[in-house]
Amino acid sequence: MGLGLGMTANGAATRRRLFLRTWGCQMNVYDSGRMADVLAPLGYAPVDAPEGADMVILNTCHIREKASEKLFSELGRLREMKREREAAGAGMVLAVAGCVAQAEGAEITRRAPWVDIVLGPQTYHRLPEMVARASRAAGAVIETEMPVEQKFDHLPEGAASQGITAFLTVQEGCDKFCSFCVVPYTRGAEYSRPAAAVLAEARRLVAAGAREITLLGQNVNAYHGEGPGGRVWGLGRLLRALAEIPDLLRLRYTTSHPRDMDEDLIAAHRDVPALMPYLHLPVQSGSDRVLAAMNRGHTAAEFLAVVERLREARPDLALSSDFITGHPGETAADFAQTMALVERVGFAGAYSFKYSPRPGTPAAGAPLQVPEAEKDARLQALQALLREQQEAFNRSRIGLTMPVLLTGPGRHPGQVAGRSPWLQPVHLLGPAALIGREVPVRILAAHPNSLSGLLLAEDAPSPSLRAEEPAPA
C-alpha cells in the first residue's frame, strides 16, 4: 500500500508530509499538536494542505452538529486524493482521530473502508505503532481503548513550540453524564495529570517562547492531581504553582463546571495576578426544570451564587458561557428563564447552540422533542441578546489603558496583534520586535469581535486593571 516510512542510507527517517485537520475544542487542538510530536521522529513534518501529503489525520469532535456528516464528506474528498497518489506510485496514510472515531469507529470503517487508522483520544501516543501496523495489515487499524494514564506517560517531553500562547491539558474525561453530551463515552472517566508533570510541561512551553498558557480539561476545575508527597492538589493550588514560573505572564483555564468551582479556586482569582480576569463557565439553561433534565447537578440560583462569589473575589472578572436551546421538554417559559439569567449576569461572550441529538445519550430518545423551527427561533433570540452584551462589553473597554500581550503581526503593514486580559483580540500599530511582550495600550475603538488601540510609551506607568476597571454589568 505504500504506507511505510522511507529510510536514508544511514537509517534516518526521510521527511514526510503530515496534514492535520482539527475540528472542535481547544483540547483537540492540543491533541493534534501532540500527534505531530509523536510522529516527528518518524520523519513526518506538518504541512498546510492535504494535497501531496503522505499522511492525513482528521481529528474530530462529536459535540458540533452534523459532525459525522462533515467527516464522511471530507473522507469522500480525500478518497480521490489517496487514489491519485497510489496511481502515481506513492501512498497516503489516512487516519480518523478524536471523539467521532471513538464513538463511531465501526461505522467509519464500514462506510469508508479506504481509511487506514481509526484512533480514539486516549491512544494517539501509539500512532507510530499504528502506522507500522497499517503498512502490513489488510483493513483498518482500530485503536479506541481508554487508558488515559498511559497516553501522558508515553508522550514525548520535547513538544514543539506552540508560540506565544499555548495550551496544556491537565485533566481529561468527565463523570458528570449530562443528558446531551457524549464526552463521558468518548473521553472516559475523569483523570488528572500529576502536578509535577504539568509543571514540567509548562516550563518546557515557556522555554520554547510561551508567555500565556491555557490549562485544558473537559472539566478542568475538577482537577485533582497528585502533588508532592502524594497530597492531592486542586486547580487553585496548581495555578499558584504555575504562576511562580519565571517569564510566564498569563494563565487561563477552560472548560469549567459550576459544581467544581471551589473556594480555593475562587480565591486564586483574587490572589494570583497572572490568572486573567476572564472565565468560561457553562450554565446551558436558566430553567431549573431543564437543568434537572440535563442532569447538570446545579440550579440557576446556585450558578448565580458562584458568579457572585467570583465577582466578589475579582470585581473586573468577565464571564462567558455555553447555552443550549430546545433541549427535550424545554417550554417557552423555560426559555424565558434562560433569557432572564443572561440579562442578570451579563456575559462578555458565549457559545450557543440549538439542541441536536447525539446517539447513545439519554436526551436523544427523550420524549417532548422541541420542533426544529422553535429551537431555531429561540436560538436566534438568545444569540441577539448575547451579541448585544458582547458588543456592550467591548465598548466598555474604550478609553481604558490595559496590558496587551502581543502574539503576532496584524493583518496590515506596520500592525501587531495581541490579546487583552479579557481574551479580546487587540490590533495596534507597533514594531514586530515587541511580539512576545506585554505592553500598555490605550483602547481607542471597539468592534464586534475585537479592539483597536494605541501603543503607549514603554516607560508609561504599568496599567492597573483593578484600579481602572469597573465590574461588568
Q: For each successive 10 residues of the chain (473 residues), what is the average pLDDT?
A: 43 76 83 87 91 93 72 92 88 90 85 91 83 74 66 60 88 90 81 95 95 95 94 98 98 96 98 98 98 97 98 98 97 98 97 87 88 96 98 97 96 94 97 96 95 82 44 40
C-alpha pair distances (Å), 171 with each of 37, 83, 101, 195, 222:
19, 40, 20, 11, 8
What does R_g of the chain's alpha carbons equal in angstroms?
23
99 known ligand binder:
yes
How many Cβ atoms sit within 10 Å of the Cβ of residue 431? Answer: 10
Which residues partner with 60 through β-bridges?
98
C-alpha cell at 451: 479592539
Q: What does the pLDDT read at residue 467?
A: 34
In 165-194, which ranges are continuous DSSP H helix? 183-186
61 known ligand binder:
yes
* The model scores a pTM over 0.85: no
Q: How far apart are CA 94 and CA 109, in angstroms?
A: 12
Topology annotation, domain 150-395: pyruvate-formate lyase- activating enzyme (3.80.30)
For CATH 2.40.50.140, the residue range(s) in the chain are 401-468
400 known ligand binder:
no
Domain 16-146 classification at class level = alpha beta
Q: What does the pLDDT read at residue 140?
A: 74
Q: How far apart are CA 374 and CA 356, in angstroms?
A: 13
How many Cβ atoms sit within 10 Å of the Cβ of residue 41? Answer: 12
Write the pLDDT tens digit of every residue in 98-108: 888 887 888 89
Query: What is the CA angle 470-445-314, rounded to 5?
Result: 20
Question: CATH for 401-468, among 3.40.50.2300, 2.40.50.140, 2.60.120.620, 3.40.50.2030?
Answer: 2.40.50.140
Q: What does the pLDDT read at residue 4?
A: 43
Which residues partner with 429 through β-bridges?
415
Which residues partner with 415 through β-bridges?
429
Q: What does the pLDDT read at residue 181?
A: 85
Q: What does the pLDDT read at residue 18?
A: 95
* Cβ(261)–Cβ(298) below 8 Å: no
The residue ranges of DSSP E strands in 160-317, in sequence order, are 165-169, 171-172, 191-192, 212-216, 225-226, 232-233, 250-254, 278-280
For CATH 3.80.30.20, the residue range(s) in the chain are 150-395
174 known ligand binder:
yes
Q: How far apart are CA 468 and CA 231, in angstroms?
A: 39
For CATH 3.40.50.12160, the residue range(s) in the chain are 16-146
* Cβ(76)–Cβ(50) below 8 Å: no
178 known ligand binder:
yes
Q: What does the pLDDT read at residue 2?
A: 42
* Cβ(61)–Cβ(71) below 8 Å: no
